[in-house]
Amino acid sequence: MKMNAPWTRFYSNSCCLCCHVRTGTILLGIWNLIINAVVLLILLSAMADPDQYHLSNSELGGDFEFMDDANMCIATAISLLMILICAMATYGAYKQHAAWIIPFFCYQIFDFALNSLVAISVLVYPNSIQEYIRQLPPNFPYKEDLMSVNPTCLVLIILLFISIVLAFKGYLISCVWNCYRYINGRNSSDILVYITTNDTTVLLPPYDDTTTASTATGVGPMAGGG
């Protein structure tokens, strides 16, 4: 009879592409790490050569600056923080340190909440989409095509897109959470458990040792009988 570890009974240890949740979390951390590293390089290049990435007010069709020095510094700090969080999640999943995954999991929850608020705002204030499109620069790609779309259809399309994004983000959150529970369960299973009664104290071995001993006991008589 096949025996399953206690931490695998109530949730799945596999994620997309049939890989383990640890592998999925490592790949997700590396992917976010690469994206934030690319964003950081672009920001640093823009700070080193502002004229190359500068957009004038006439190009934007407004009276505001696209990216001033303060916003550049804030964006750079956020990118550095995200690189640190993604690196911690990748290292924690690889070395099986559950606590290192928590910051990345909290970031996922925060990002999911923000996207949910966007979906709610679109649902409650559907006319805000048309107002936002009108405020776009005149040379913005497909602006006229977007303005010609029926407002109700545009709202439904945007809600459908946001729903797909939220479903995907929710699935990634579940993968990271399952990885955290898996690592936390493995670390907890290595602790010896004492059961104390009035007369005796029994020391229970770790689960892995019990499974190994049971397997060896079952294989031994079969080998001898052959």
Distance of alpha carbon 194 from its chain centroid, rounded?
A: 38
Q: Domain for residue 119, yes or no?
A: yes
Q: Domain for residue 83, yes or no?
A: yes
Burial of 85 (0-12, 13-18, 19+ CB in 10 A): buried
Judge if 73 and 102 occupy the same domain.
no
pLDDT in tens for each of the 226 residues of the chain?
444 544 444 456 766 666 788 888 999 999 999 999 999 998 888 887 766 655 554 444 444 455 567 788 888 999 999 999 999 999 999 998 989 999 999 999 999 999 999 889 888 887 888 788 887 777 777 778 878 888 888 888 888 999 999 999 999 999 999 989 888 887 775 554 444 444 444 444 444 444 444 554 554 444 444 4
Judge if 107 and 194 occupy the same domain.
yes
Judge if 113 and 149 occupy the same domain.
yes
Judge if 85 and 111 occupy the same domain.
no
Spatial contact of 28 and 175, defined as CB atoms under 8 Å apart:
yes
Q: Domain for residue 210, yes or no?
A: no
Spatial contact of 12 and 181, defined as CB atoms under 8 Å apart:
no
Judge if 154 and 76 occupy the same domain.
no
Judge if 118 and 81 occupy the same domain.
no
Enclosing domain of residue 90: 26-50+66-95
State the total domains in the chain: 2
pTM: 0.68
- Pairwise CA distance, residues 221 & 107, whole Å: 53
Q: Domain for residue 11, yes or no?
A: no
